[in-house]
């Protein structure tokens, strides 16, 4: 069952043709890794999945992206789409408020006021992000008091608090040290049971470790995609071979 | 060798410039305080102004008028200015025609001599709208005067809010207005408060546009539709009518109060700024 279906997707930043005729199915409850050298369009593709590119001027899109069979670019309720498709960014970006308020943010944005409901959702989300044991005694503390890795797990908690179906991760560990990275990867092992995860990563080892499917990008094109093991062990395309062998990129 | 001589000349010029600035500031402060401080006592601050009984004459009505003027003009200008800044940074397309027109207007407004605002206020608010010489006319005139400051400073504060906050909020499905209310405005708050306090200084400091619109009646105004005399206008009035040594002393005493007020406002701005910065980072 495919969660997303990307069909003939082209994206232009003004004159710059950033995504060229992308066709990519993204399966449900699997981890799909998007890899490729810098500027190849992998982050851009990730951001088309929750329409984050809408925030940028002069972006033109053709083709379509469907979520559960519905074209998300026909959707009027972009907020509703983003509630279903959560996002974790490259640099941890907690809001300048308390740990509790950070996690409660998405719920409050939906107009939920019931303190009991929010309390429960905050605890569940923090447990789900493997952060509860570290912060349960200082929920009112400022989010900026946490370490980088904790902040990133807080951002994951913030995303899962509103119970999305998909989590998009844009190089979520590139700003973290190896130990914090390891913790996030462990966490993803848990999350993959309940969520469809799409992750952009620079690290081929990370893609190998955590993903079921891998898609390789090259200068705006999707070179090849398939089972992660197959991509890394017997790549079909010369460019993929070069990239996964570390010849460039 | 030449090099060291040039270095020395440059260094002494730089030091000279810096010291001159400090000397003038200290000199002026000392001059005002030395001449004024001894006449500032409780009677001077709390008594009504009297032309006849100069021994017991005070500036209480002017203090009240000044406070009215500050509160009223900030209460009108701050919401308008903040909303304009929000429009410019969050809603309008960057570089669009509307943005350019509004920017041009605020920049031009900032460059106009303040007495011209007074003239406009007098013909429009006082006469055409029939508000008379009143605190309200004065406050409305000062509103136009301080709007550019508020818009500019707030805009800069809003632009400085990291894109990551906006992305984080939109990424959770939050609406634009919710994002502005919960994340953008709170993050920009130190800058917004600075703009308000800078404007407060401006309102306290202006004289010409104030006496042209609020008049010079030296008693506590009954309402915002009553005329009032602010401290700065009072100082202007005293210095243009120096008949006795009492007037002279009162002028310096009023100047002292003004300077202490402005210094206090500066100090409070810094404290609030630091406090909020700590809270955010």
Residue A60 within a domain: yes
The answer to ipTM > 0.95 is no
Residue A26 has pLDDT above 70, yes or no: yes
Average pLDDT, chain A: 92
Q: State how far residue A88 is from chain B, nearest Cα, in angstroms.
A: 8
Q: CB A83 to CB B173 under 8 A?
A: yes
Over residues B103-120, mean pLDDT: 91
Q: In chain A, what residues touch B165 (CB-CB under 8 Å)?
A: 93, 95-96
Q: Measure CB to CB from residue B186 to each of A86, A89, A96 and give the nearest one.
A: A96
Q: CB A82 to CB B168 under 8 A?
A: no
Q: What's the domain count of chain A?
A: 1
Judged by average pLDDT, the poorest of A155-159, A173-177, B138-142 is A173-177
Name the band, by pLDDT with cuts 50, 70 and 90, for residue B281.
very low
Residue A124 within a domain: yes
Q: CB B168 to CB A50 under 8 A?
A: no
Q: Specify the higher pLDDT residue, A7 or B43.
A: A7
Type and span of the H or E element at A191: helix A178-191
Q: State how far residue B100 is from chain A, nearest Cα, in angstroms.
A: 17
Q: CB A79 to CB B93 under 8 A?
A: no
The tens digit of pLDDT for each residue in B130-174 reads 999 999 999 999 999 999 999 999 999 999 999 999 999 999 999
Distance CA A58, CA B279 (A): 36
Residue B54 has pLDDT above 80, yes or no: no
CA-nearest residue to A91 within chain B is B164
Residue A59 within a domain: yes
The tens digit of pLDDT for each residue in B220-245 reads 888 889 999 999 999 998 888 877 78
CA-nearest residue to B180 within chain A is A109
A-B contacts (CB, under 8 Å)? 74
Q: Which domain, by its residues, includes A211?
A: 2-244
- In this structure, what CATH number is given to the domain that contains residue A206? 3.40.50.300
Q: In chain B, what residues touch A109 (CB-CB under 8 Å)?
A: 169, 172-175, 178, 182
């Amino acid at each position: 069952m495919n969660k997303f279906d990307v069909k003939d997707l082209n994206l232009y930043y003004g004159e710059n043709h950033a995504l060229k005729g992308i066709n990519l199915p993204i399966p449900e409850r699997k981890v799909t890794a998007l890899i490729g050298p810098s500027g190849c369009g992998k982050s851009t593709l990730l951001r088309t999945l929750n329409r984050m590119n809408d925030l940028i001027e002069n972006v033109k899109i053709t083709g379509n992206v469907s979520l559960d069979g519905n074209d998300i670019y026909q959707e009027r309720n972009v907020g509703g789409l983003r509630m279903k498709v959560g996002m974790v960014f490259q640099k941890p970006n907690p809001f300048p408020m308390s740990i509790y308020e950070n996690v409660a943010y998405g719920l409050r944005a939906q107009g939920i006021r019931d303190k009991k409901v929010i309390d429960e959702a905050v605890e569940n989300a923090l447990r789900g992000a493997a952060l509860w044991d570290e912060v349960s005694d200082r929920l009112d503390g400022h989010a900026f008091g946490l370490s980088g890795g904790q902040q990133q797990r807080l951002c994951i908690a913030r995303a899962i608090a509103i119970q999305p179906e998909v989590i998009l991760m844009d190089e979520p560990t590139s700003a973290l040290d190896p130990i914090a990275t390891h913790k996030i990867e462990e966490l993803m092992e848990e999350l993959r049971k309940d969520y469809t995860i799409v992750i952009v990563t620079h690290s081929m080892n990370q893609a190998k470790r955590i993903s079921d499917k891998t898609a390789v990008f090259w200068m705006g094109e999707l070179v090849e995609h398939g089972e992660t093991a197959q991509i890394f062990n017997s790549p079909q395309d010369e460019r993929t071979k070069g990239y996964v062998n570390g010849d460039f990129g | 060798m030449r090099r060291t001589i040039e270095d020395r000349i440059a260094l002494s010029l730089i030091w000279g410039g810096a010291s001159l600035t400090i000397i003038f500031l200290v000199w002026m402060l000392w001059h005002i305080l030395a001449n004024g401080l001894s006449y500032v006592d409780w009677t001077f601050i709390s008594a009504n102004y009297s032309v006849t009984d100069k021994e017991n004459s005070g500036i209480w009505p002017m203090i009240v008028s000044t406070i009215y003027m500050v509160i009223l003009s900030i209460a009108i200008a701050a919401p308008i200015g903040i909303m304009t800044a929000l429009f410019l940074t969050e809603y309008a397309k960057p570089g669009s025609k509307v943005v350019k027109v509004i920017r041009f207007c605020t920049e031009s407004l900032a460059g106009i001599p303040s007495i011209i605002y007074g003239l406009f206020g007098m013909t429009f608010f006082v006469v055409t709208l029939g508000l008379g010489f009143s605190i309200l006319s004065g406050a409305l005139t000062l509103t136009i005067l301080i709007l550019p400051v508020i818009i500019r400073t707030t805009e800069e504060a809003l632009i400085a809010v990291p894109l990551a906050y906006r992305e984080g909020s939109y990424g959770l499905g939050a609406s634009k207005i919710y994002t502005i209310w919960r994340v953008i405005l709170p993050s920009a708050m130190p800058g917004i408060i600075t703009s308000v306090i800078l404007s407060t200084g401006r309102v306290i400091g202006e004289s010409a546009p104030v006496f042209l619109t609020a008049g010079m009646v030296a008693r506590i105004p009954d309402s915002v539709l009553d005329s009032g005399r602010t401290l700065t206008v009072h100082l202007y009035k005293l210095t243009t009518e120096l008949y006795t040594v009492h007037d002279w002393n009162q002028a310096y005493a009023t100047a002292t109060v003004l300077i202490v007020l402005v210094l206090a406002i500066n100090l409070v701005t810094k404290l609030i700024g630091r406090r909020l910065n700590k809270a955010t980072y």
